[in-house]
Amino acid sequence: MIHNPTAASYDKAFLQIEIGYLDDASPAPVKNFYPAWMDVASCGSSGYDLPAGPSEKSGTVGVKYDGILLGVGGHMHDYAKQIVLEDATKKKSIATLQAKTDDKGLLLSMPVITFYSTGGEPLAAGDQLKITANYDNPTGKLLRAGAMGIVVGYFVPANDSALAPLRHAAKSPMPHPHDMHDMKDMPNMSHDQ
């Protein structure tokens, strides 16, 4: 996830990612995969008000394509406890991501769970995924827009051509990654694990 937490806009900024492939991955075919976004706020604005004390928020997201979920990570904020992803249609828990926090409850990191060893988690078009985020806010006050609960994952569709209409054409030519400055001066956003 990348976002701009400042009030200033940087309209020339872009993110370029280079992923190297093995030359010969046979017998495993090289396949396209897609980011999957599973948010307790469904497809709305992700931030929500965090009440004092323990709290829980759930949302559902419908699966539109048959395929396999290869793994998931999570995005939460300070005072996070955990986020759970379940397939509500199949009544099956997919992953529980326990937040790692410091002794004040400030978020240190969220884990990544992969399903490679079992061949991936199958999802079917029409399945409803339920996402449940738990927090425990010890500050004694409501924190405006203080929480998010997002599970992000890699999805491999059963039929790759079904997702082809979602692709965007490449925009303007981008500088080669080796010409770009490295990222060591970027601020370390502790909440963006």
Closest contact distance (angstroms) between CB of 68 and Cu ion is 27
H-run or E-run covering 130: strand 128-137
3-state SS assignment for residue 142: coil
Closest contact distance (angstroms) between CB of 116 and Cu ion is 27
Q: DSSP assignment of 52-88, as one string? A: SEEEEEEEEEE--S-EEEEEEEEE--TTEEEEEEEET
Give the side-chain half-sphere CA count within 13 A for 52.
5
Residue 5 or residue 29: which is nearer to Cu ion going by CB?
5
Q: How far apart are CA 160 and CA 108, in angstroms?
A: 36
Closest contact distance (angstroms) between CB of 91 and Cu ion is 29
Residue 41 or residue 148: which is nearer to Cu ion going by CB?
148
Residue 77 or residue 130: which is nearer to Cu ion going by CB?
77
Residue 72 or residue 148: which is nearer to Cu ion going by CB?
148
Residue 3 or residue 184: which is nearer to Cu ion going by CB?
3
Contact assessment for residue 71 and residue 154, using Cβ atoms and an 8 Å cutoff: yes
Closest contact distance (angstroms) between CB of 82 and Cu ion is 16
Contact assessment for residue 147 and residue 50, using Cβ atoms and an 8 Å cutoff: yes
Residue 83 or residue 148: which is nearer to Cu ion going by CB?
148
Using Cβ positions, the residue closest to Cu ion within the complex turns out to be: 148
Closest contact distance (angstroms) between CB of 103 and Cu ion is 22
Structural tokens at position 57? 């928020």
Contact assessment for residue 78 and residue 191, using Cβ atoms and an 8 Å cutoff: yes
The count of other CB atoms within 10 Å of the CB of residue 131 is 24
Closest contact distance (angstroms) between CB of 189 and Cu ion is 9
Q: How far apart are CA 4 and CA 41, in angstroms?
A: 20
Q: What does the binding site for Cu ion look like in residue numbers (CB under 5 A)?
A: 148
